[in-house]
Chain A
Amino acid sequence: MRSSGQIDQGGAEGVPTGSPAAADPVADPREADFQALIDADQRIEPRDWMPDGYRKTLIRQIAQHAHSEIIGMQPEGNWITRAPSLRRKAILMAKVQDEAGHGLYLYCAAETLGVDRAELIDLLHQGRQKYSSIFNYPTLTWADVGAIGWLVDGAAITNQIPLCRCSFGPYARAMVRVCKEESFHQRQGFESLYTLSHGSPEQHEMAQDAVNRWWWPSIEMLGPPDTDSTHSAQSTAWGIKRFSNDALRQRFVDMVAPQAVVLGLTPPDPELRWNEQRGHYDFGEPDFEELRRVVGGDGPCNRQRAAHHLKAHEDGAWVREASAAYAAKHAATTAAA
């Protein structure tokens, strides 16, 4: 899977949000009941009263998460026709299909907040809603498919597991489903990279090259550092965000660093080492300037990804028109009978 901390932090992309600063100074009396439910670790359901900022924050976050799933089909879809075996091809198709499914679970959750999926897709096409920075990197070799499964899906899982306990019921339920399916994604990636790494010297080199390119973007996709994270406090109070970006990043590095040893691959971070005292891995400073650039639209593939999505949407218009016409005709026949 596929979400990223930086999209959970509206501030990173300068998308206006219903932040506390924008909240109505005259507090609604229902707000106390709402907050009491959250503080009691209860879930908020779609028809409950909720502050405007909560609704807006969730729509933005869930939509951007959904867009990430859908755009995330592109880098891997790029390799379906060239997968090295039927087994790998079947696995990759199943995975890309899952990403489509995850996008749909999430659009469905967003729609319970009173927006229509078509509106959200328009916002994506207009560049007014973002998706995860990670999908703006190209997949240059077959090994990239393995690296994405291991690292990108690994980072996404780290971010998504706490979202299974998010205060908004439909989002939390969608995340439970996503996380269940996601563990296959990470394992197939690990297995694929392991096979390459223990194959011929050329295959090993290809796996190492993929890890060199995907390591830092995966660490960066967990979002800007806590010091730059503008919406964390309110999102935490609302039970949307459970752990800070830096805490999730540490958890991710602690998970993948020992796995890299088993893979026989070396992460491109000379500062990566176990810190006995902290009980965690130390690691180098991610290039957050690069993250800002990629989120801001200047990654290697931003234009290509957006153009492809728009083209696929427009090319599919005749299918939607035809099925609507068929449904209308069929409804008329049924009514007449």
Chain B
Amino acid sequence: MFDLTGKNALITGASGGIGGAIATALHGAGAQVALSGTRVEPLEALARDLGERAHVLPCDLSDAEAVDALPKQAAEAMGSLDILVNNAGITRDQIFMRMSDEEWQSVLDVNLTSAMRLCRGVMRPMMKARWGRIVNISSIVGATGNAGQANYAAAKAGLVGLTKSIAYEVASRNITVNAVAPGFIATAMTDKLSDDQKGKINAQIPAARMGQPEEIAAAVLYLASPEAAYVTGSTLHVNGGMAML
């Protein structure tokens, strides 16, 4: 099950905890992977760990021109582009009354607009191939909201609307577009929280623990697989029961 041999995948934010786990899972299923991110060192370390079938394509997702060029670079490096995982995300948390235009815009640019640009960039090759998989990494807060994250929640909710709309347009071409919405996952992003904050979070999770990056990667692997051909426009919530949507 879930054999991606011969498929080529581009993963953004692959230098992070969840992105790295996604790349590792797709690679483990036989896919060739293009690892994108801003921090070159962790990308190259991951590529070394994976060995063959791994390419490093650094990209600043706040740079529109660089984002537009990325799908082509990935297709050139791998021969084609069959799977796109828009995983990259940043936070600029701030209570809404104090949120600056810059805090709003930078989060929207990286978390939403770059995903739109990459989706647009992969459409042509996927339409021609009559096969494609796009997985956008949303977030539980896109559905529930979260104090201090108006920008992040808006971008993550925006990804769901983007996902569904593109899914409508390209379903007849065997291209599926889905979202995965992680709850609280143990990564560098959540390491910044204090023990007290973590305890409060865990108390709200029926599973009574944070998720692991590999548990998000497994959801992405499924949605990227041939077995998920009939699943499109959906959001798969992976949150330990924190929000049952």
A and B bound? no
